[in-house]
Each structure stands twice: as structure tokens, then as C-alpha cells.
Amino acid sequence: MDTVIYRDDSDFQESAPPYGDAMNSEASNVEILTRVELDLAFASEKLLNLEMLVMEIARRATDFEPPTFEDESISSETAESAFELDILYGILDAEVKELVNLISSLQADIRGIEHRVYEEESGGKVKAKLDAATMTLKQMQELIADIRNESAKFEKAIQFIHETEGVEGVGSENGHLPYQTGMQTEDQHRNVLHMLEQSIASELDLEKKLSDSKSVIEDLKLKLHHQEKEIYFLEESTETVSGRMFEAENASELLFGTSKELANRLNTMQFHISAQKCREDDLKSKLEQSLTKLSFLENSPEKVEEDSNKAGAEVISLQYRLQELEKQLNESNSQLQSAMESEETSQEEKNALHSELSTLENTIKNLKGDVSRAECRAQNAEIRCMQLTQANIELNEELSALKSEKSDKANLLEKKLKESNTQLEHAKAAVDAIVEQQGMLKSTMSDMENMIEDLKGKVSKAESRAGSAESKCTLLTDTNLELSEELAFVRGRVENLENLLREANHAKVSTAKDIGIRTKIITDLVRKLALERERLHLQIATLTKKNKILAQKYKERVNVSSQMSKKATAKAKHTELQSTEKAEEIFPDSSSSQTEAEKPADLLYKDEVKAHTPAEDDSSSDDAHETVRTIEPSLLNRKYIFVSFLVLLVAAVVFLLHEDGSTA
């Protein structure tokens, strides 16, 4: 008969601390529920075994007929059957008591869980499980009551066995029953001795096997304890790895945001560069126009003064635009520096991500190695469990053989087998839990691998974006170099234009000096012309007077001879020469007074000429032989005034142009 017997909870809890009270106090409701379910399954199996044992005891009790004390001799078979019944009844009673204690402990655990559930207000699944457990406990209590009612029927045989034991004890003490009642013949005595030797040898073997099984169980317990520690460390490592994974995700999101910012900055830089190129094209066109104008001005020196002002204004505008271009270049350089700094930060973050990924890969490899080791250990534990089950089967077979010989040692061996069976069951449960934990670890490892693949994809995208940003930065540097070269060229052209403007200003100053000198010369000439004009006026006045006198003398002395006329003409010429010499001696230092009295003298001269012209006409009409030439001063006066007015206009224009150039 194969029976699975439960060991006392206190002994097993002392031998197996992970499943004892110390861990139950710290365990969660789910762990306690799983333990309760396992204990319920164990109790149900034990009830089935007890029912089978009750059926076996009932069968043997029906076969057993208790003899009376009137019989002189009791056969060995009846005695053995009676002892077997007594042993089986004792086993049944002990197992029923243990089952009752287990049910009471389970009820206490269920009450504690219910109290916790009501305090924590958790879900309804736990309550449903607790209700099912209470129902099964009630059914088990009913079955135990039935077993006790059936065991009460076996009291007759058990009472007879106890009475026979008492009679044998009294007889042995008083010496009434001889030694031959147990052993009638020597053959039977030898057979019994031989059977005892065999039983002792088998007991020794069983004790060795039990010691080996205990050592194996202790090794398994130690290994299970180490595996639990490793699982705890693996869980901690998985938590740390998950934290690093979340940090890597956050870093990847930050890199994605920085890459977007870099792309926006590059777009703005490209827009600014396009605007700068347009401005440079405009400046180039304006420079070409200015160069053409300068060449035209160089070819036409007459228009230098007019175009120099325009060139000065253009140079000012060019300087202002150059300043704007320099500001834009500084801004572009600052933007390039910020872009380079952001690229350096992105590269540092990439390196950090690569290092974190390498560490994650190493941890995953270590976790895989730990999982493989745990699997190997679980396989070894399963193999040892199989070996233990085989050893238990062999022990059960040997126990079934030894039950017919010795019941006391068989009971001890059965108890030891029960303990080993319970330990094996708990070891199997621990192995199942380890397998479940390994499955959970594998699932977490797969999730982590998927997360790492996603991170690798994100890192590759970030690297591609960083490469595009680097290419754009190189393009920006090239464009900045081109802009700097063009700015240097424009600055050279502007310097050339400034030199040309300086030369034009020097030319203006020199022309202004020349114009001033010429105006002085012209004013001196005008003064001299005025003096000569006055001198001529005086000569003309004297000549007119002489002409009048001569005309009068001619009228008076018509009949004078030609000699007298010749003398008179000679005298007139001599007087003219003397008068001119006297006028030159008198009037060279009186230029200012004569210029102020220019207009009234002219007016008087005109009146005199008008007064004397009719007389001259009369004289010319009277004498056709002598003609006198009269000069009108108004014609000379108009010409000189017009020339002086033009000179003054030219001087004023030159002065105004010189002032405009100096202000520009």
C-alpha cells in the first residue's frame, strides 16, 4: 500500500525557512493564498489516502476474528494481523489529528487574509478564492467526521490486541507460559532469526539511503536558497536596467528635440545666407555701377565735381552696408559657434548613449548567463527529484516487504518517508516557482531586448540627423568663407573708392585755389581796365574839347593858310602827348576812388557826348575835309560788366562746390 503522509508544519518550517512563519509574516496576500492553495491540495490528497487506509483497515477488520482466552494457543498469523491492525489504527488516528491541526491552521490563515483584505479593500478575486477555500475546508471536516465514525467500529479488535498484550506480559513475569509457546520448533526459531537478520540489514540500508536522501535534500535546500538569492539579485538588476532604459529613452527624446532645434537653426541660417547673397549681389551691381561711374569720371574731368558728391553719398551708403554685413557675419559666426556647441553636446550625449547601450548589452549577457545557469540548476534539481522519487519508490517497496516482519521500525521508516515525500513536494513546488520566475525573467529580457532595439533605431536616426547637421554646418562654414572673401574684396574696392574720393577732393581744393588765383587776376585786370577806361574817357573828353576849339578856330580861321593849319595840328599832337603823360602820372594810384566814381562819371560823360554830338555833326557837315573819330564808352562798359559778372558767378559756384565736398 502506497501512502503519502504529511509532516508536521512546525518541523518543516524549521527545516525550510523560505516557507516558514518568518517569510509568511513579510509575504503578500498573493503568496499566502498560493501557500493556502498548496496546503489545501495537499490536505485533499491526504484525505484520499486516509480514505484508502480506512478501506484497508475495514477489509482487514472484517477478515480478522478475535479469539477468546479459552483457546490454549494463539497462532502467529492472528497475532501479526492483530498487531498490524493496531499499528494501522494508530497511524490513522495520528494522521487524522495532524489533518485536523492543518485544517485549523488553514482556517486561521484564511481569517488573517480576510482581515487584511477587508482592511486593504482589495479586489474580489481574493475574496472568491477565500470563499472557495472555506467551502473545501468544510467538506474536508465532514469527511474527517465520517472517517472517525468508521474508525470507531474497529475498537473490538484493538481492545483484544491490548488484552492479549497484557496477558502475555503477566505470563512472562510469573513464568507460567513457557518459551515454547512462541517457538515450538527450532526450525521456526532459525527462520525467525534469519528474517531478523534480513530485516536488520534492510534497515541499515534504508537508514543509509535516508541519510543520503537527507543530505541531498539539504543540498537542494541550499541550492534553492542560493537560487532565490540569485533571483532577487536578478530582479534588482532588471530594475536597474529598466531604470537605465528609461533614462536612455529620455536622453533619446532630448536628442530628438535638440536635433529639431538644430534643423530649425540651420533653416534660419540658410534663410539669412540667401538674404546676404541677395544683398551681396545688389552691392556688387552697385559697385560695378560706381566703378563705371568712376571710369567715366576719370575720362571726363569736367564732371568730377558733380559726380564726386554722388560718389561720396554712395560711399557712405556702402560703408553703412558694410557695417550691416559685418554685423550679419558676426551673427552668423555666433550662430555657427552655437551650432558647433550643440553638435558637441549631441556627440557627448551619443557617446553616453553608446556607453549605456554597451553596459545594457553586457548586463543582458550576464542575465542570459544567469538564466542559463538557473535553468541548468533547475534541470539538476529536477533530475535529483526524479532520483529521490525513485529512491522513495524503492523505500516504499522495501517498507511493504518489511511491514510483514517488523512494524515498529517500519513505522519509523514510514514517518521518514513521509518527511522525505513532503520535502520532495516542497522542493517540486520551489522548482515550479523557480521555473515561473525564469519565465518571467525571459519575458522581461525579451521586452528589454525590444526596448534596446528601439533605442538603437532612435540612436541611428539621431546619428543620421547629426550627420545632416554636420554637412549643413560645413556648407555654412564654406558660405561664411566665401562671404568673408567677398567682404574683403568689397572693402578693398571701398578703400580704392575712398582713395579716389580723396584725390577728387585734392583736385577740388587745387581747382578752387586756381580759381581763387584767377579771380584775383581777373579782379586786377578789371581794375586795370577800369583805370584805362577812365583814362580813355579823359582823353576823349580832352579830344572833344580840342575838337570843339579846333572847330571854332576852323570856323574863325577858314582863310588861314595851310602852314598855319599844319602848325596847329602839330601843336595839337604835342598837347595830346603831354596830356596823356600827365594823365598817366596822375591816375595810377587812384583806382579805388575812380571805381567808386565810375557810374556818375559815365553818366556825365554820356551827357557831355550827347551835348557835343550835334555840334560835331554840325562841324562834320560844315567841313568835309577834316573828320574827327568819336568813341562811345557805353559799349566798353557793358562788355566789362558782363565779364566781371561771369567771373563772380564762377567763383561763387566753385566756392559752393568746395563747401559741399568738405561737408560730405
pLDDT reported for residue 596: 41
Q: What is the pLDDT averaged over residues 26-53? A: 78
The overall average pLDDT reported for the chain is 68
Q: Does 19 fall in a domain?
A: yes
| Neighbour-count burial for 337-350, b at 16+ CB within 10 Å, e otherwise | eebeebbeebeebb
Question: What amino acid is encoded at 105 in this protein?
Answer: S
What total of structural domains would you count in the chain?
A: 2
CA 130 from centroid of its chain's CA atoms = 51
pLDDT reported for residue 4: 37
Among 128, 144, 178, residue at a domain's last position: 178
pTM: 0.27
Residues 6+ apart with CB under 8 A from 471: none
Which tens digits make up the pLDDT trace of 543-563? 888 888 888 887 777 766 666
Among 178, 211, 231, residue at a domain's last position: 178
Residues 6+ apart with CB under 8 A from 444: 238
Which tens digits make up the pLDDT trace of 292-351? 766 665 555 555 556 556 656 666 766 676 677 677 667 766 766 766 676 677 667 667
Which tens digits make up the pLDDT trace of 238-265? 777 777 777 777 776 777 777 677 777 7
Task: Specify the range with the lowest mean pLDDT, choosing from 48-52, 88-92, 586-590.
Answer: 586-590
CA 179 from centroid of its chain's CA atoms = 100
pLDDT reported for residue 70: 42
Q: Answer whether 587's CB lies under 8 Å from 534's CB.
A: yes
Q: Does 36 fall in a domain?
A: yes
Which tens digits make up the pLDDT trace of 93-129? 888 888 889 888 888 888 887 777 665 555 567 777 7
CA 539 from centroid of its chain's CA atoms = 110
Which tens digits make up the pLDDT trace of 371-389? 667 667 667 766 766 766 6
pLDDT reported for residue 592: 42
More confident residue, 513 or 343: 513
Q: Please, what sign has the CA dihedral across residues 289, 291, 294, 300?
A: negative
Cα–Cα distance measured from residue 237 to residue 121, given in angstroms and rounded to the nearest whole number: 32
Q: Does 160 fall in a domain?
A: yes
More confident residue, 403 or 51: 51
Instruction: Label residue 504 by pLDDT band (50, 70, 90).
Output: confident
Q: Which three cell numbers stand for residue 287?
A: 559697385
Cα–Cα distance measured from residue 431 to residue 448, given in angstroms and rounded to the nearest whole number: 25
Q: Does 367 fall in a domain?
A: no
Q: Note down the domain range covering 560.
A: 514-663
Cα–Cα distance measured from residue 426 to residue 429, given in angstroms and rounded to the nearest whole number: 5
Q: Answer whether 651's CB lies under 8 Å from 529's CB.
A: no
Q: Which three cell numbers stand for residue 545?
A: 574839347
Q: What angle do CA 171, 172, 177 make, to 5 degrees?
A: 55
pLDDT reported for residue 360: 67
Instruction: Label residue 90 by pLDDT band (50, 70, 90).
Output: confident
Instruction: Label residue 72 by pLDDT band (50, 70, 90).
Output: very low
More confident residue, 581 or 71: 581
Q: Does 18 fall in a domain?
A: yes
Instruction: Label residue 6 by pLDDT band (50, 70, 90).
Output: very low
Which tens digits make up the pLDDT trace of 127-164? 777 888 888 888 888 888 888 887 777 665 555 555 44
Which of the residue ranges 111-115, 398-402, 616-620 has the most confident prediction, judged by mean pLDDT? Answer: 111-115
More confident residue, 195 or 627: 195
Closest by CA to 470, choosing from 353, 344, 333, is 344
pLDDT reported for residue 14: 35
Q: Does 72 fall in a domain?
A: yes
What CATH number has the domain bearing residue 103?
A: 1.20.1050
pLDDT reported for residue 180: 41
For the chain, give the percent of residues with pLDDT over 70.
52
Instruction: Label residue 64 by pLDDT band (50, 70, 90).
Output: low
| Neighbour-count burial for 238-269, b at 16+ CB within 10 Å, e otherwise | beebeebbeebeebbeebeebbeebeebbeeb
Task: Specify the range with the lowest mean pLDDT, choosing from 433-437, 597-601, 652-656.
Answer: 597-601
Instruction: Label residue 16 by pLDDT band (50, 70, 90).
Output: very low
Residue for grid cell 556818375:
600
Q: Does 491 fall in a domain?
A: no
Q: Does 157 fall in a domain?
A: yes
pLDDT reported for residue 602: 45
pLDDT reported for residue 619: 42
pLDDT reported for residue 68: 45
**E strands present in 25-90:** none
Among 138, 154, 178, residue at a domain's last position: 178
